[in-house]
Amino acid sequence: MSAPAVELRHVTHTYGTTPAVADVSLDVSAGDFVSIVGPSGCGKSTLLKVLAGLLAPTSGTAAIQGASTIDRPGLAGYMPQRDLLLPWKRAIDNATLGAELGDRRATKAEARQRALELFERFGLAGFEQSWPSELSGGMRQRLALLRTFLTGSRVLLLDEPFGALDAITRRDLHDWLQALWIDHLGESVPRSALFITHDVDEALVLSDVVHVMSARPGRIVDTVTVDEQRPRPASVTTSAAFIRNKARLLDSLDRGRATTH
Ligand SMILES: Nc1ncnc2c1ncn2[C@@H]1O[C@H](COP(=O)(O)OP(=O)(O)OP(=O)(O)O)[C@@H](O)[C@H]1O
């Protein structure tokens, strides 16, 4: 059996004397879209940084496709909380930035060619030469996601990519991301995603599995599996199964917030 796309085992991280996450274990199977919801400051970004190889856990292990991420950045495509587009680079050059770095480095020409092919699929056709400041908020996030896709990694670590967007733009991006996800599931090694959000509805619309974290130091306090077929339209949020799952997640969040460590 092949290794899970993402594997965290008993991960604990303490910044100085501040415990951020405590004993977190979770797997993401190949092809799965998995979300983590939790209150602000509970250590969600810390977990992604450990998986991105940017932070060594105080204890425990982290692996992407079976390879330890400790001191090994670039095994997964990582989109940090701020989109970090470089304002002095045009959209096309921002898109190819990750592809020219990291483990699966492509040549500049290859990366550019692949990016140009995907600009339309990412709703950015015609904006290849634009500056980031000329793009809308939704376009900037799609461009940052395109950059993450172009790293070539089968595993995407997405830290609240839609957190700063208005509700309508966010809804459009949910539809778009689901369509993109369905397209990519046909690939020989399907993509997997670990997605951070504060928004329970967003987690349930997009995910196969949703984990709930408690207040700091974050622990996994509940896990819900979502069986709904994709694509899931906005109306899915009114189905009985969705409402049941949402009530459970909100309850787990409340209980996790009330926990004192
Ligand atoms: N470099 C650091 N030094 C000290 N404490 C830190 C550092 N980075 C994060 N922390 C603390 O660790 C805790 C977890 O931070 P983290 O950013 O992982 O949480 P988060 O769940 O992603 O938060 P948010 O949802 O607000 O983005 C927070 O209390 C934060 O203040």
Atom 16, ligand 1: which residue's CA is nearest?
43
Give the pTM: 0.93
User: Which helix or strand (DSSP H or E) is residue 136 part of?
Assistant: none
Q: Going by CA atoms, what residue is nearest to atom 2 of ligand 1? A: 15
pLDDT in tens, the chain (261 residues): 688 999 999 999 999 999 999 999 999 999 999 999 999 999 999 999 999 999 999 999 999 999 999 989 889 999 988 768 999 999 999 999 877 665 555 677 888 888 888 888 888 999 999 999 999 888 998 899 889 888 888 899 999 988 888 888 888 888 888 888 887 766 667 889 999 999 999 999 999 999 999 999 999 999 999 998 888 988 899 999 999 999 999 999 998 887 655
Which domains occur in the chain, in start order? 1-76+153-168+181-260 (3.40.50.300), 85-151 (no CATH)
Give the pocket of ligand 1 (CB within 6 Å): 15-16, 18, 20, 38, 40-46, 81, 216
Rounded to the nearest angstrom, the distance between the alpha carbon of 124 and the centre of ligand 1 is 33
Give the residue whose CA is nearest to atom 1 of ligand 1: 15
Q: How far is the CA of 20 from the centre of ligand 1 (A)?
A: 7
Q: Give the side-chain half-sphere CA count within 13 A for 219.
A: 12
Structural tokens at position 15 = 């910044």
Phi, psi of 18 (to 5 degrees): -95, 110
CA distance 148 to 156: 7
Backbone angles phi, psi at 221, to 5 degrees: -110, -15
Beta strands in the chain (DSSP E): 6-15, 18-28, 33-37, 59-64, 67-68, 77-79, 155-159, 192-197, 209-213, 220-225
HEC per residue, 2-18: CCCCEEEEEEEEEECCE
Q: What is the DSSP letter of 38?
A: -
Answer whether 203's CB lies under 8 Å from 163's CB.
no
In testing the pocket of ligand 1, which one of 15, 194, 213 has its CB within 8 Å of the most ligand atoms? 15
The pick from 12, 46, 55 for probing ligand 1's pocket by mutation, whose C-beta has the most ligand atoms within 8 angstroms, reads: 46
Nearest CA to ligand 1 atom 25: 40
The H or E element spanning position 229 is none
Residue 160 makes CB contacts below 8 A (sequence gap 6+) with 81, 196, 197, 198
